[in-house]
Structure 1
Amino acid sequence: MIDEFLMVVFVQDGLNPTEKRGAYSLALLFALRMAGLFMLMPVLAVYGQHLQGFSPLWLGFAIGAYGLSQALFQIPMGWLSDRFGRKPIIFLGLAIFTLGSVVAAMADSIHGVALGRALQGMGAIASTVMALAADLSRETQRAKVMAFIGVSIGLAFAASLVLGPVISAVLGLSGLFWLIAGLSILAMLVVQFVVPNAQSVAPKSEVSANSQQMLKLLKHPQLLRLDWGVFTLHLVLTSLFVIIPLRLVGAGLAAADHWAVYLPAVLISFVLMVPMLIIAAKRNQQRGYFIFAIGLLLLANVLLLTEHASIWLLALVLTIFFTGFNYLEASLPALISSLAPPGNKGAALGVFSTSQFLGAFIGGSSAGALYMWTGALAVNLFISVLLLCWIAVSWGMRAQSGIKSYSLTISSADQTASLLKKLQVLPGVVEAVLIASEGTVYLKVKAKEFELNRALDLVRAG
């Protein structure tokens, strides 16, 4: 499953011109938007010290504040996009994000920066952009478009860790926020002039988070393991960037030169991570490699318990950390898609995204508080305990290899009962769910055994 997730990035056969344009333009939009968040992570802890009212507690809050507002506004913005259209809500989100960037750029206190970061998070457009990507793609090509966007986020993250320190050294923290505001305006131009208008609409349950479905999914043990996982992963990430930039400065590396550590660490981590994904999928050992990747995060944090770490040790720590982080960041969305019950993918992703952003907020805030009251080592101990809990939670995880989901539109309500019975007995069909109000049948299938054309023939025949 995961090797397919990677391969579709490089195989564009089958995409029509609208899907190609949608994939490229939305990937660019996401990269511009996410760069505005990621570039701040490696520099706030260092340059924020010069702001009025600075304290480790407020530093942590400023780093994680966007996560709280993202968690609160992600699903409502998705609902608004269902009613008023995708592009208007994306424009609204980018405008709010730009306003937050300007507020932070003009702030002379850590409190103003935290407010700006919270406003940035209120421009929560991730779910709306993904819904637009679904609207612009056919069922058979949707995974390719989504994977292309996913890779753009990963590349934006890697580039931002390198560019953030370099740009901040020249422009300062205020200048970086002004640049981020400019990137957001550029993203608006991409939406207006490059992103296609939706010509088809994906089934509602595929992209929208239904509140009743979300409550039901909170009882799903396998999905809860993944929700806890993404919560912990982003908690650990924001916690780490409260202390890592300060540890690098303490080891004698000037803030402007931090890129020289981040760049090789990220590049090496990608080289190590991709074979892990491929081997895990080919050998059907996703669970084992998943737990191994969590173990890498734990190892990195244990190494940070060394009080006087050298630059070389910190570089090793970051390489180990990013190898595990990138593997888990690529694996979790694919696992959510395979484990989500048919017709509940939108709700499952809603819970997943909310967990992710809450983790980012709690990670930054708790790390800042611990650092202020007890020191950096307490932050690493806190992270280590959470990672041990994650390993325990993941021990009962059941990864499904080779599982794909399809949504088929039916033309008449009269055919539903008999059609559903015929689809359920097709080779490779694991689950089939009918949602008559949407005129859609959702299928979860074993990719190697299922023949899509047979299912389509049954739908056409009625």
Structure 2
Amino acid sequence: MQRKASGFDDRMSLQEKRTAYSLAGIYMVRMLGLFMILPVFTLYGYELSGNTPFLIGLAIGIYGLTQAILQIPFGMLSDRIGRKPVIYLGLVIFVVGSAIAGMSHSIYGVILGRALQGAGAISSTIMALAADLTRDEHRTKIMGTIGLSIGFAFSIGIIAGPILNEWIGVDGIFWLTALLGLAAIAIAAWMVPNPARSHLHRDTEVVLSSFGEVLRNGELLRLDLGIFTMQFVLTANFVILPVVLARMTGLPSAEQWGVYLPVMLIAFIIMLPFVIIAEKRRKMKSIFVSSIGALVLCELMYLFSDHSLAEIIAVMLIFFTAFNTLEATLPSLVAKFSPPTRKGTAMGVYSTSQFLGIFGGGALGGAAYARWGVDGVFLISAALAAVWLLFASSMRNPRYLTSYVLHIEGVLQEHARSAETALTRIPGVAEATVVPDEGVAYLRVDRSALDEEQLRAFSLAGA
């Protein structure tokens, strides 16, 4: 809904398209380097001096810890000094970390490099910049484009990692990751528009005063546990999957891409109808809980299989179908359960839980592998996923509402309550919070029943 003098236009402007694609490009090239390491690092780690299974797992997951610690502070820093300076700073740290990992011949040097990669924590800053550069009514589309780029980066990285490992080695992948970081800096400098001004956006940024309400919300805490568990299981599995494929099925590392490629493509295709059914037919909870159950089943199947190549491929296909389905539905559930003005804070806590899961999966997965071998990792992953399944089963059925930010002008603070009442009388608007200082109303709406003409009239009339 692009506002014009005579009304609204549903098309994004050229600047908004440029913003979406350039910021998605930064996200994608940065995450691509991180994901390419996953399927190849464990076997490489045994070539490094000072290695132990625990330290190898720590090297895989340590970037999640520094990312979790610094992403919210970086976002807040960007409110003070500007978005682009923080993005440049984060990408420089990322490049330095990648170079240190590429030069290192000891596991400790790689751990340091990986920690620095995560310390370039610019995720929240990119989201804030996207909000600065786009109009309120197009923000969901922009965020969706950025989110989609992460999924592409994951799939491409998992497939490309084994191929590049054969050509340039893991140390070469780290150097390639440094080059990708430099490419991201170039994109930020020459392709991302400069915002006229930066200000707080409650639907994309963390608000300190909102933490209490978000952390007391049981439904959001279930989802935070969920993303933590999902990333824990994924990372822990990748601590041992290269070993399982190479040593137990006899598949050389150089040929493992031939497993990942069809598995990732087929899992993506199978996932799509499940996500459509969850949203369009309002079967979100049943699809969501069933996918968690599939994760538990996969870990048990790994545990009790004879580790033949055919069995491992079959289990991987089920695993990544369930994983992709959960990855697509979890953010949607966070949005559905978040109060309109708390969505940014809820997503900040959710993202922090995600990165802590990566760290926990790497470190504890490595420790379990050292103590109990491959079966120990699968058993811990199955147990944690079963706990998640227990909590998710008691989740309320979500209301099928989406976030909607409406630009309004001329509403005084003393008239905010009456404006909220008027907005909730519009068909399809379930909740409304008017923030006069920001000139916006944060809504939760039922898209299938929403009368957008009345919303447009309300916006243009200035309440």
Give the TM-score normalised by the residue count of structure 1.
0.94
Deviation at 1:186, TM superposition (A): 0.7
Which deviates further from its counterpart, 260-269 or 149-158?
149-158
**2:250 corresponds to which residue?**
252
Q: 1:88 aligns with which of 85, 90, 114?
A: 85
Counterparts of 1:256 and 1:101 in 2: how far apart (Å)? 23
SS of residue matched to 1:432: strand
**2:189 corresponds to which residue?**
192
Indicate yes or no: 2:116 matched with 1:114.
no
SS of residue matched to 1:39: helix
Indicate yes or no: 2:43 matched with 1:64.
no
Counterparts of 1:317 and 1:26 in 2: how far apart (Å)? 35
Cα deviation digits, residues 137-175 of structure 1 (max 9, x gap): 222222222111111111111111111111112212211
* Change in 2 beyond 3 A, CA 1:416/1:19: same
Indicate yes or no: 2:437 matched with 1:440.
no
**1:221 corresponds to which residue?**
218
**2:423 corresponds to which residue?**
423
Counterparts of 1:435 and 1:347 in 2: how far apart (Å)? 16
Counterparts of 2:197 and 2:116 in 1: how far apart (Å)? 32
Q: Contact conserved, 2:419 with 2:434, CA < 8 A, in 1?
A: no
Q: Contact conserved, 1:293 with 1:328, CA < 8 A, in 2?
A: yes
Indicate yes or no: 2:384 matched with 1:396.
no
Cα deviation digits, residues 117-156 of structure 1 (max 9, x gap): 1110000111111111222222222222211111111111
Question: Structure 2: any 5+ residue segments left out of the alignment?
Answer: 1-8
Q: Contact conserved, 2:137 with 2:404, CA < 8 A, in 1?
A: no
Task: Write out aligned runs for 1:198-277 (5 A).
Answer: 198-199=195-196, 204-250=201-247, 251-277=249-275
Cα deviation digits, residues 290-324 of structure 1 (max 9, x gap): 11111221222111113641112111121111101
Counterparts of 2:140 and 2:358 in 1: how far apart (Å)? 26
**1:6 corresponds to which residue?**
none
Which deviates further from its counterpart, 134-143 or 401-410?
401-410
Deviation at 1:420, TM superposition (A): 2.3
Deviation at 1:200, TM superposition (A): 6.7
**1:295 corresponds to which residue?**
293
Q: Contact conserved, 1:203 with 1:407, CA < 8 A, in 2?
A: no
Counterparts of 2:262 and 2:117 in 1: how far apart (Å)? 29
Q: Which residue identity is paired with 1:269?
A: A
Indicate yes or no: 2:410 matched with 1:406.
no
**2:452 corresponds to which residue?**
452
Q: Which residue identity is paired with 1:447?
A: R
Task: Write out aligned runs for 1:31-70 (5 A).
Answer: 31-70=28-67
Task: Give the CA RMSD over aligned residues.
Answer: 1.7
* Change in 2 beyond 3 A, CA 1:376/1:252: same
Task: Write out aligned runs for 1:300-315 (5 A).
Answer: 300-306=298-304, 308-315=306-313
Indicate yes or no: 2:381 matched with 1:356.
no
Q: 2:333 aligns with which of 335, 345, 351?
A: 335
Q: Contact conserved, 1:137 with 1:200, CA < 8 A, in 2?
A: no
**2:6 corresponds to which residue?**
none
Counterparts of 2:418 and 2:145 in 1: how far apart (Å)? 37
Q: Which residue identity is paired with 1:372?
A: A
Q: Which residue identity is paired with 2:424?
A: Q
Q: Contact conserved, 1:419 with 1:458, CA < 8 A, in 2?
A: no
Q: Which residue identity is paired with 1:153?
A: I
Cα deviation digits, residues 267-303 of structure 1 (max 9, x gap): 0101100011112222211100111111221222111
Q: Contact conserved, 1:99 with 1:119, CA < 8 A, in 2?
A: yes
**1:3 corresponds to which residue?**
none
Counterparts of 2:442 and 2:388 in 1: how far apart (Å)? 31
Q: Contact conserved, 1:431 with 1:443, CA < 8 A, in 2?
A: yes
Counterparts of 2:410 and 2:107 in 1: how far apart (Å)? 57
Q: Contact conserved, 1:370 with 1:379, CA < 8 A, in 2?
A: yes
Q: 2:158 aligns with which of 156, 161, 178?
A: 161
Q: Contact conserved, 1:207 with 1:345, CA < 8 A, in 2?
A: yes
Q: Which residue identity is paired with 1:365?
A: A
Cα deviation digits, residues 239-275 of structure 1 (max 9, x gap): 0001101000111111111101111110010110001
Cα deviation digits, residues 204-228 of structure 1 (max 9, x gap): 2122212221222111011111111
Deviation at 1:417, TM superposition (A): 3.4
SS of residue matched to 1:434: strand
**2:280 corresponds to which residue?**
282
Deviation at 1:182, TM superposition (A): 0.5
Counterparts of 2:66 and 2:49 in 1: how far apart (Å)? 23
Which deviates further from its counterpart, 418-427 or 156-165?
418-427
Which deviates further from its counterpart, 73-82 or 450-459?
450-459
Q: Contact conserved, 2:131 with 2:201, CA < 8 A, in 1?
A: no
Counterparts of 2:290 and 2:199 in 1: how far apart (Å)? 36
Q: Contact conserved, 2:409 with 2:462, CA < 8 A, in 1?
A: no
Q: Contact conserved, 2:411 with 2:436, CA < 8 A, in 1?
A: no
Counterparts of 2:462 and 2:173 in 1: how far apart (Å)? 59
SS of residue matched to 1:294: helix
SS of residue matched to 2:403: strand
**2:148 corresponds to which residue?**
151
Counterparts of 1:428 and 1:447 in 2: how far apart (Å)? 7
Deviation at 1:65, TM superposition (A): 0.1
Q: Contact conserved, 1:338 with 1:405, CA < 8 A, in 2?
A: no
Counterparts of 2:378 and 2:444 in 1: how far apart (Å)? 41
SS of residue matched to 1:50: coil
Question: Structure 1: any 5+ residue segments left out of the alignment?
Answer: 1-11
Percent identity over paired residues: 43
